Amino acid sequence: MTVEINSLTRLYAVFGDPVAHSLSPAMHNRAFTHIGENAAYMAFRVKDVQGAVRAIRAFDMGGASVTIPHKISVMEHLDEVDETARAMGAVNTIVNDQGRLIGKNSDCLGAVKAIQEKTPVKGKDVVVIGAGGAARAVIYGLKQEGARVTIVNRTMEKGAQLAEELGVDFQPMEDLGKLDCRIAVNATSVGMVPNVQDSPAPASLFNKEMLAMDIVYRPLLTRFLSDARDAGCTIVDGIAMFVYQGASQFEWWTGKEAPVAQMRETVETILG
Ligand code: ATR
């Protein structure tokens, strides 16, 4: 099915700087086209985030994705920031609800859905490596689903502080290989191109009962995931979280089920 741009087309966009390498336009346009939604999605390099939010109102856009460096500063220009986005301290999605602009964050749901596609998380012991913004989203989402989360982080104070704030456990990095868990998530940038030989975890962490997820998607098969696969783990790559956070955005905007398989195929094709 193809959708032609006409006088009824609803506009969506990503606001960020830089945005030239964003995968979101291709992914969302494929999704709109696949379900026959009369909508189009652009990438706008934005310096003036207040102006960009005004444009949503002026053009009655359906909504927007928000990325670096605007995820925090955009909040003051919106009519409402929902509970999850407030807990993240970051908005990555704006929904135009009949003129009210609502700030949301789809990363928590993205992480949860990427894992739940393979295994339920309720009651499971999960180790999350990292204590930055991505880790916060993964931990918050998993905890809400009833997982028992332990944070491990290179910088102890940062990890311990996030653990206390989110009401989860903390363990020092050197104990990582000894921890007993069913799900392990790399929420650091370790292993990303060009440092593809690096992993934040020793291979001894993994066993065949486990699921391992990485938020890194360049490369698709990180050292963390290849060690996990060699140990017999189920693996969830970084594209999964990216696609599912996009799927949540899509569903908030359109009220329709996101065509996840087509979205994933589009991203995989671009990443080669
Ligand atoms: P993001 O918001 O994308 O998650 P961030 O806030 O910079 O990014 O967080 C990056 C995370 O990766 C942190 O947990 C960081 O550990 P520190 O708190 O010790 O800085 C982790 N990280 C980055 N490089 C690392 C490395 N070489 N070894 C271990 N952890 C690393």
148 shares a domain with 228: yes
Q: How many domains in the chain?
A: 2
**Averaged pLDDT score across all residues of the chain:** 97
120 shares a domain with 17: no
Beta strands in the chain (DSSP E): 10-16, 39-45, 63-66, 80-81, 93-97, 100-104, 125-129, 148-153, 169-172, 183-186, 211-214, 234-236
Single-letter amino acid, residue 135: A
210 shares a domain with 248: no
CA dist., res. 178 & res. 261, Å (int): 36
Confidence at residue 168, expressed as pLDDT on a 0 to 100 scale: 98
Q: Write the pLDDT tens digit of every residue in 23-42.
A: 999 999 999 999 999 999 99
Question: Is the C-beta atom of 199 inside 6 A of ligand 1?
Answer: no
Check which CATH number belongs to the domain holding 159 and give it. 3.40.50.720
Q: Write the pLDDT tens digit of every residue in 145-179.
A: 999 999 999 999 999 999 999 999 999 999 998 89
132 shares a domain with 49: no
175 shares a domain with 261: no
- Measure CA 1 to chain center: 28
Q: Which domain holds residue 33?
A: 10-105+241-271
148 shares a domain with 95: no
256 shares a domain with 219: no
Check which CATH number belongs to the domain holding 61 and give it. 3.40.50.10860
**Does 54 fall in a domain?**
yes
Question: Is the C-beta atom of 155 inside 6 A of ligand 1?
Answer: yes
| 2 has a pLDDT exceeding 90 | no
Question: Is the C-beta atom of 133 inside 6 A of ligand 1?
Answer: yes
Question: Is the C-beta atom of 161 inside 6 A of ligand 1?
Answer: no
15 shares a domain with 68: yes
Distance 140 CA to ligand 1 centre (A): 17
Distance 200 CA to ligand 1 centre (A): 10
156 shares a domain with 200: yes
169 shares a domain with 113: yes
The reply to whether 122 belongs to the active site is no
Distance 85 CA to ligand 1 centre (A): 21
Q: Write the pLDDT tens digit of every residue in 118-136.
A: 999 999 999 999 999 999 9
Question: Given ligand 1 and candidates 67, 140, 189, which is best to mutate, with the most ligand atoms within 8 Å of its CB?
Answer: 189
Q: Write the pLDDT tens digit of every residue in 44-79.
A: 999 999 999 999 999 999 999 999 999 999 999 999
**Does 5 fall in a domain?**
no
pLDDT band at 272 (very low <50, low <70, confident <90, very high): confident
| 1 has a pLDDT exceeding 70 | no
- What is the percent of the chain where pLDDT is above 90? 97
Question: Is the C-beta atom of 158 inside 6 A of ligand 1?
Answer: yes
Q: Give ipTM to 2 decimals.
A: 0.97
